[in-house]
């Protein structure tokens, strides 16, 4: 499995923690930066992560900024993306089970390191339920064609 990961200047430390956590799980990480000390506008990073997922190069993505809000909005502008900003494990699990979110977002100024790792595990270990949720996800994706 390959995960695209990216962050602005508010989240490089958390990104490094999440990256190490993913690698410990045997997941290959494609890192779109930025590193500690670098500045970045979250829309630029969000677009890179989202396009990597939308193209199929990565199976899924994780994107972080200060709140997780700006980068999730940016990711959601890319066709094919369902990015969910989460700050609890229930939402991180359900955004996969019900919404089949292909990018998980969170804010380094909102969640702690341990909660962030736990949310990543909840999201990765959850499975999309399909059925009535597939119909709703199809309706979401159809908005892109209107």
Q: Does residue 47 touch ligand RB5 according to CB under 6 A?
A: no
8 Å CB contact between 11 and 36 = no
* Nearest residue to the partner ligand RB5, using Cβ: 70
- Around Cβ 137, how many Cβ atoms within 10 Å? 17
Among 49, 65, 122, 126, binds ligand RB5 (CB under 6 A): 65
Q: Does residue 66 touch ligand RB5 according to CB under 6 A?
A: yes
Residue 5: φ, ψ to 5°: -135, 145
Q: Which is nearer to ligand RB5, 10 or 92 (CB)?
A: 10
Q: Among candidates 89, 36, 84, 24, which has minimal Cα distance to 60?
A: 84
**Interatomic CA distance for residues 68 and 74, integer angstroms:** 10
Among 42, 47, 96, 122, binds ligand RB5 (CB under 6 A): 42
Q: Which residues inside 5-24 make contact with ligand RB5, applying CB under 6 A?
A: 8, 10
- Residue 142 beta carbon to ligand RB5: minimum distance, rounded to whole angstroms: 27
Which residue out of 65, 95, 105, 122 is catalytically annotated?
65
Tell me whether residue 65 is one of the annotated catalytic residues: yes
8 Å CB contact between 37 and 46 = no
Q: Does residue 86 touch ligand RB5 according to CB under 6 A?
A: no
Residue 117: φ, ψ to 5°: -65, -40
Q: Which range, of 21-29, 51-59, 67-75, 94-102, touches ligand RB5 by CB under 6 A?
A: 67-75
């Amino acid at each position: 499995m390959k995960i695209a990961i990216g962050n602005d200047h508010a989240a490089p430390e958390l990104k490094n923690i999440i990256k190490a956590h993913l690698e410990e799980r045997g997941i290959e990480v494609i890192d779109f930066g930025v590193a500690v000390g670098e500045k970045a506008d979250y829309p630029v990073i969000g677009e890179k992560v989202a396009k990597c997922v939308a193209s199929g190069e990565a199976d899924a993505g994780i994107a972080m900024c200060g709140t997780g809000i700006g980068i999730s909005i940016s990711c959601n502008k890319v066709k094919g993306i369902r990015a969910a900003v989460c700050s609890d494990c229930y939402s991180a699990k359900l955004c996969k089970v019900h919404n089949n979110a292909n990018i998980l977002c969170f804010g380094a100024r909102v969640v702690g390191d341990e909660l962030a790792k736990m949310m990543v595990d909840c999201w990765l270990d959850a499975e999309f339920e399909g059925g009535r949720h597939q119909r709703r996800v199809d309706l979401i994706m159809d908005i892109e064609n209107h």
